Structure 1
Amino acid sequence: MNRSGAESDKRTAVEVTKDKNGIGQVVLRNPRGASARVSLHGGQVLSWRTEHDEELLFTSSKAIFKPPKAVRGGIPICFPQFGSRGLLEQHGFARNKIWVIDKNPPLLHPNDSNGKAYIDLLLKPSEEDMKVWPHSFEFRLRVSLAEDGYLTMISRIRNINCKPFSFSFAYRTYISISDISEVRVEGLETFDYLDNLCDKERFTEQGDALTFESEVDRVYLSSSDVIAVLDHERKRTFTIRREGLPDVGVWNPWEKTSKSIADFGDEEYKRMLCVDGAAVEKPITLRPGEEWTGRLELSVVPST
């Protein structure tokens, strides 16, 4: 999983463990002490911590860690459907399935391996999945933690069907914040968005940054490749870089909707914000044998 030799073992660590329900988890550590924890339930990143042991992702205190329920928090993977835009269950089935560790992944660019702690996971459809979405695919996911603490997720989805299929996709990224009223999102100004609170009607972002005073559930379309989330109180800025993911989902349920979500605390909306790298408006279509790659890179830096 890492470069061979004792040299790389000192630098990075990949540890396979189990959670209290017996589900496999992989802990990635870099030499400075930053870490990421990935569950085989959903191929979901559940934790991403700085070298000072600060948690950067939000997970609800009421989250359910038992399949088939997806975990509320971290970075669930929405595939082959985002939200309720289709006939499948909300956000598709990939986040509810048990993935396996891919022992022989196809090669990636050396930059995606060198000096990084990483794990490769694989999802193939079960007979049950084929009944609801009758397409054969291989979904390979690499999660890596670099020396500088950057967290990268690379999804590669291949059509092994004899006919084309289409899907939508998102990395639903629950960011941990100090207070939703103190946060601003930059990089979405002037872009069009679909507002899920207004029957997916299309609007154009007028503000020079996105701030929050009520429920927000939007998909920004073909927006800039880099989005910044500024948390004034914690004096830190998250940077979200995307490749192959033209759209950005932004969600905060605010007070009223929070109370209607069983696995979410009534007041927890104040401490989380979802900012997703996504491909929603124009579904991805793969012909037989074709492969799509979607990449998300998350970093965090101190800010004033």
Structure 2
Amino acid sequence: MAGSGSERVAVELCKGINGLDKVVLRGPRGSSAEVYLYGGHVTSWRNDHGEELLFVSSKAIFKPPKAIRGGIPICFPQFGSHGSLEQHGFARNKFWSIDTDPPPFPTNSKSFIDLILKPSEEDTQKWPYSYEFRLRVALGPGGDLMLTSRVRNTNADGKPFTFAFAYHTYFSVSDISGVESMG
């Protein structure tokens, strides 16, 4: 994946904090994003000027089984702590795989990664359903960050299930007094 001269590599698999695998996406004008396979977790998104747009706590522990604090955690199959599962579900505490056979999905980006999460035996003891959770993280030509999730029911009997899901995004804010939340 290495380029020569001024050529930039759009997608690079490398080691991150504590040796965890991560993927670095690079846009044509200098934007970038980092995605850890642990949690399918976006930990950095920089604009074309190199400014960090996400907040990751200085107290974040990049060591399983603790979830990474900040960035964009994937909350699935529950959001909150009102079920029998750990807070915000288990997806943010699992190792995702690079999806080598993703379904067709049009993109105008050369800088994207497809990840997949399937249940482990331990997961099905806590939450007895079979699924495939696919996540595409893409960095657009203008530096915009796009996350697309697809959850597919793979229960052998086709038995339906319900779930909750969230991108629990932590934005970096330089001046909180200038922030307005609209719903």
TM normalised by structure 1 equals: 0.56
Give 3-state SS (helix, strand or coil) of 1:21's partner: helix
- Deviation by residue 1:2-36 (Cα, 9 ceiling, x = unmatched): xxxx9xxx576100001232221000001101000
- Deviation by residue 1:206-247 (Cα, 9 ceiling, x = unmatched): xxxxxxxxxxxxxxxxxxxxxxxxxxxxxxxxxxxxxxxxxx
Partner of 1:55: 52
Structure 1 residue 84 and structure 2 residue 81: aligned?
yes
Structure 1 residue 168 and structure 2 residue 164: aligned?
yes
In structure 1, which of residues 89, 92, 114 is the aligned counterpart of residue 108 of structure 2? Answer: 114
Structure 1 residue 42 and structure 2 residue 39: aligned?
yes
Q: Which runs of 4+ in 1 moved over 3 A?
A: none
Q: List runs of 5+ in structure 1 lacking aligned partners.
A: 1-5, 189-304
Which residues of 2 match residues 214-293 of structure 1 at below 5 A? Answer: none
Aligned residues of 2:10 and 2:110 also touching (Cα < 8 A):
no
In structure 2, which of residues 134, 138, 151 is the aligned counterpart of residue 140 of structure 1? Answer: 134
Partner of 2:177: 181
Give 3-state SS (helix, strand or coil) of 1:185's partner: coil
Structure 1 residue 129 and structure 2 residue 126: aligned?
no
Give 3-state SS (helix, strand or coil) of 2:177's partner: helix
Structure 1 residue 154 and structure 2 residue 148: aligned?
yes
Within 2, Cα distance between the matches of 1:159 and 1:149? 33
Query: How far did 1:84 drift?
Result: 1.3
Partner of 2:101: 104
Aligned residues of 2:137 and 2:148 also touching (Cα < 8 A):
yes
**Identity rate, percent:** 65
- Deviation by residue 1:60-103 (Cα, 9 ceiling, x = unmatched): 01011101111110000000000113221100000000001011
Within 2, Cα distance between the matches of 1:87 and 1:176? 32
Return the structure number with greater strand share: 1
Aligned residues of 1:11 and 1:115 also touching (Cα < 8 A):
no
Within 1, Cα distance between the matches of 2:152 and 2:161? 10
Within 1, Cα distance between the matches of 2:171 and 2:91? 21
Within 2, Cα distance between the matches of 1:46 and 1:66? 14
Give 3-state SS (helix, strand or coil) of 1:52's partner: coil
Which residues of 2 match residues 285-304 of structure 1 at below 5 A? Answer: none
TM normalised by structure 2 equals: 0.92
One-letter amino acid of the counterpart of residue 152, structure 1: M
Aligned residues of 1:123 and 1:140 also touching (Cα < 8 A):
yes
**Aligned residues, how many?**
176
Query: How far did 1:176 drift?
Result: 0.4
One-letter amino acid of the counterpart of residue 51, structure 1: D
Structure of higher CA gyration radius: 1
CA RMSD of the aligned region, Å? Answer: 1.4
Q: List runs of 5+ in structure 2 lacking aligned partners.
A: none
Aligned residues of 1:12 and 1:116 also touching (Cα < 8 A):
no
In structure 1, which of residues 15, 19, 42 is the aligned counterpart of residue 16 of structure 2? Answer: 19
